[in-house]
Amino acid sequence: MSNAVIKCESVYKIFGANAKKMLQDSNGNVDAKTFQENGCIVGVNNASFEVSKGEMLVVMGLSGSGKSTLLRCISRLTEATGGKIFIEGQDLLSLNNKELIDLRRNKMGMVFQSFALLPHKTVLENIAFPLQIKGIEDQESINKAMDMVKLVGLDGRENYFPRELSGGQQQRVGIARSLAVEPDIWFLDEPFSALDPLIRKEMQDEFLRLQEKLQKTIMFITHDFDEALKLADRIAIMKDGIIEQLDTPANIVLKPATEYVRKFTEEVPREKVLKIEDIMDKPNNENLSDLKVSKDEIIENVAEKILNQEKSVGVIDKNDQIVGIVQPSKIINTVFGGKKNND
């Protein structure tokens, strides 16, 4: 990828007093068990990947897999033990404190599981706060904060205090605050995991709406595979600090690279990852239903609508041109039938 915004080359994070020496002695062949016997814990083990402009990479794994540690290394909240990290071509690990603060203020937005709102400030004041730290005048920062309030759907609540908001509303404030500085890169570490399922789904939908509009470069951490499937352009699955597979949601489910990934994904219904274009037939002259669906739609999202049609449904591209058809029977076969041939 030539337009990589984030680039990691053989990144390691090892915790322990003699971590650096052990890494050097190992020549990059890090065995977690050996390191542990010598008083070191391996957090990230030889991570190499790129994230393109406007892409959402979701990093997932179970607790202790290294996903949050990796994110903290890339934002340099934690110092990597080895490897190279580039942000828009800039060598992150060579920056001094002032340059790092400048990069974080102007390029990076961060949202964590804990909302960390200032309890004595209103919604509007919380969102304006990072702008004021940057030296933006009060009125301008308030105007910008109000735009963010509207963007995340909190108009009418701008003068509320955090204690007067629900968990979902508080997280919206956290998202608005991180967006106020107009970051190019957005780091989110399990931002919705503390929310109840219904609010969580609403926030995921809201997040996708925002991303469609803003096109940020995003690294999103989660332990919830359904969340990863819903949000990701690509998914990285981590285990014991190692990226087991980094691929599209469909390939992660349909073409697992390791036994661990296969077990992780074996219960996932195929309609959650396959797109309409994966099962559509070539257009013909048959009479079509009035319903049209995008080739990029996930089957699960439109299956019910298609099944309610008596005729085949036209499949359209971004220019509303018909590029294929899908029959209701094809949906039934995909959802309830045997495995689709992907070769």
Map out the domains of the chain with their CATH numbers: 53-81+94-270 (3.40.50.300), 275-336 (3.10.580.10)
pLDDT of residue 2: 53
| pLDDT tens digits for range 241-278 | 999 999 999 899 889 999 999 998 888 888 888 899 98
**DSSP collapsed to 3 states, 228-282:** HHHHCCEEEEEECCEEEEEECHHHHHHCCCCHHHHHHHCCCCHHHCCEHHHHCEC
Predicted confidence (pLDDT) at residue 331 exceeds the cutoff of 70: yes
Rounded to two decimals, the pTM is 0.83
User: Exposed (0-12), middle (13-18) or buried (19+): which is 248, by Cβ within 10 Å?
Assistant: middle
Answer yes or no: are the C-beta atoms of 56 and 211 closer than 8 Å: yes
Residue 45 carries which side chain, given as an amino acid letter? Answer: N
Predicted confidence (pLDDT) at residue 1 exceeds the cutoff of 70: no
> Residue 282: CB partners within 8 Å, gap ≥ 6?
324, 325
What gap in Å lies between CA 313 and CA 327, rounded to an integer? Answer: 6
Residue 21: count of CB within 10 angstroms of its CB: 12
* Mean pLDDT (whole number) for 66-81: 95
Residue 67 carries which side chain, given as an amino acid letter? Answer: K
* Mean pLDDT (whole number) for 118-147: 91
- Mean pLDDT computed over every residue of the chain: 90
